[in-house]
Amino acid sequence: MTPALKLTLLLGAAALLACQPGGSENAKIEPSAPEQVETVQINPNVKILTDGALAGTQGYDIIESLTTEIGPRLAGTPEEARAREWGVAKMKDIGLSNVRIEPFTINGWERGVETGMIISPYPQKIYLTALGGSVATPSGGVEADVVYFPTFEDLKNAPEGGLDGKIAYISGRMEKAPDGAGYGPANQKRRSGATEAAKRGAVAVLIRSVGTDSHRFPHTGQMRYADDVKKIPIAALSAPDADQMDRMFAKDQDVRVKIELGPRAVGDRPSGNVVGEIVGSEKPDEIILIGGHLDSWDLGTGAVDDGAGIGISLGAAKVIIDSGLQPKRTIRVVMFGAEEVGLLGGFAYVEAHKGKDLANHILASESDFGAGKVYELRSGLKGGDAFIGELHSQIAALGIEKSTAQTNGGPDIGPMFDEGVPAIRLQQDGTDYFDLHHTPDDTMDKIDKDDVAQNVAAWTAMVWTASETDYDFRGMN
């Protein structure tokens, strides 16, 4: 791309109507009607930033550093604490200001032994992992007959009491989709499978992993117990092991398994959000918040979830600082802690900032959907079409469409979004994200340099446009 790139955007299918010839160097973008061709101007500073991002490896290098130097960083563990120290050092190294840890306390949980074995009809080992928050089996494990539920709905429709002394197995596949639309439906068994099975008398639960791969990796992830129901252990099987269960039940076999799970609640543990800023030159009190989450599950090294989000958001800040450009508004980068175990960093952030500067947050967004290319822009603004149009014109050249889908800005942004913080999201292609999500296989080799650079470029454009716009996000000006 040339420095003074002029973009011809085709808006709608029946284009080539009402062509407006190229504007002047600083032409303002006209609100576009559908089915019009419009020539828009990339802001020269956006051009500098996106060029810098596309030519560099700012984001990739940060992901590599985090996964190599820290690796797994389960919420509340010493590894997450080391990651916070890493985050502070990295932010300072990049040149952010006001770098600090905002600590909070969580209920810690740690994984223990986990083994699984089909006892009959066909004895063989099964690969499984405890879901986050699960209680343990009795020491030595639990052995029981298995009752098969093709889907979580089938379990919910089962009568009470029918599972006394049994292990419930919930199958069901997750569908692939660029925006991960299959995750919510598939995830119900992970969140509520233990509760629904316990209501019916089960002693433990196995689920087919919530994932889209077919590798021998079980996918962990947080589960929840209802307050008034007995807590029973729950684990996920890898897809090939779930296939094995399905094959046995398809042959109408009686299946008996033995599993041992040793996870435990470990009481109060420290977590924290790592915060740093590029202080705005003209409106320093108006805050644009970007970030990812610093914690990961314990099985992998948290490259796509969410080393990528840390690298993309902090990488964008680095590109801005390295460019020498000074944003008018303050860019605040947050590495959220303890996201995986309940968005605890996002809630803690609101608790720490509510009644203080939270009302000054004019826009917030989190990158937490892997390292695939951004393909569309989603809005969580009330109104804000003018800003969305302004921003879209700056990122369309990166292959990003405008979407009508709404967003709350990402998992850790949700709590502040609910408090009125305007949100936006650069939706990534997550078609393969759930192949790796919450598995040991979430490692650095899965990160593509060019994809990360495209993300960083889009984030610089988003941040810069938001920092310079005349659009009044919250009626503050």
Task: Cite the active site residues.
Answer: 339
When binding is defined by CB under 8 A, the residue of 23, 178, 182, 240 that contacts its own copies is 240
Rounded to 5 degrees, φ, ψ at 291 are 175, -170
Q: Does 80 bind its own copies (CB under 8 A)?
A: no
At position 206, the amino acid (one-letter code) is L
DSSP lists the bridge partners of residue 146 as 167
CB distance 146 to 166 below 8 Å: yes
Q: Does 443 bind its own copies (CB under 8 A)?
A: yes
When binding is defined by CB under 8 A, the residue of 28, 100, 247, 354 that contacts its own copies is 247
Nearer of residues 42 and 66 to its own copies, judged by Cβ: 66
> Alpha-carbon dihedral of residues 9, 10, 16, 20, nearest 10 degrees?
-30
DSSP lists the bridge partners of residue 128 as 237
When binding is defined by CB under 8 A, the residue of 27, 69, 97, 184 that contacts its own copies is 69
Q: Does 447 bind its own copies (CB under 8 A)?
A: no
Q: Give the integer Cα–Cα distance in Å for 243 and 246.
A: 5
Q: Does 351 bind its own copies (CB under 8 A)?
A: no
Beta strand pairing call for 256-261 and 142-149: antiparallel
Q: Does 445 bind its own copies (CB under 8 A)?
A: yes
Q: Does 248 bind its own copies (CB under 8 A)?
A: yes
When binding is defined by CB under 8 A, the residue of 53, 426, 444, 457 that contacts its own copies is 444
Query: Number of residues in contact with its own copies, rule: CB under 8 A?
Result: 32
- The H or E element spanning position 245 is helix 239-250
- DSSP-based three-state secondary structure for 185: helix
Structure tokens given for 222: 């947080």
- N-term to C-term CA, the chain: 36
Q: Does 60 bind its own copies (CB under 8 A)?
A: no
Nearer of residues 109 and 349 to its own copies, judged by Cβ: 109
Contact flags string 200-239 toward its own copies, x per CB under 8 A: --------------xxxx---------------------x
Q: Give the integer Cα–Cα distance in Å for 465 and 328.
A: 10
Contact flags string 122-161 toward its own copies, x per CB under 8 A: xxxx-x----------------------------------
Q: Does 171 bind its own copies (CB under 8 A)?
A: no
Nearer of residues 79 and 110 to its own copies, judged by Cβ: 79
Segment 381-440, which members bind its own copies (CB under 8 A)? 439-440
Q: Does 305 bind its own copies (CB under 8 A)?
A: no
Contact flags string 99-128 toward its own copies, x per CB under 8 A: ----------------------xxxxx-x-
CB distance 380 to 366 below 8 Å: no
Cβ neighbours of residue 387 closer than 8 Å, sequence gap 6 or more: 381, 465, 466, 469, 471, 473
Q: Does 36 bind its own copies (CB under 8 A)?
A: no
- Over the range 331-355, which residues count as b (16 or more CB within 10 Å of their CB) and which as e? bbbbbbbbbbbbbbbbbbbbebbee
> Which positions touch its own copies (CB under 8 A)?
64, 68-72, 79, 121-125, 127, 214-217, 239-240, 243-244, 247-248, 300-301, 439-441, 443-446
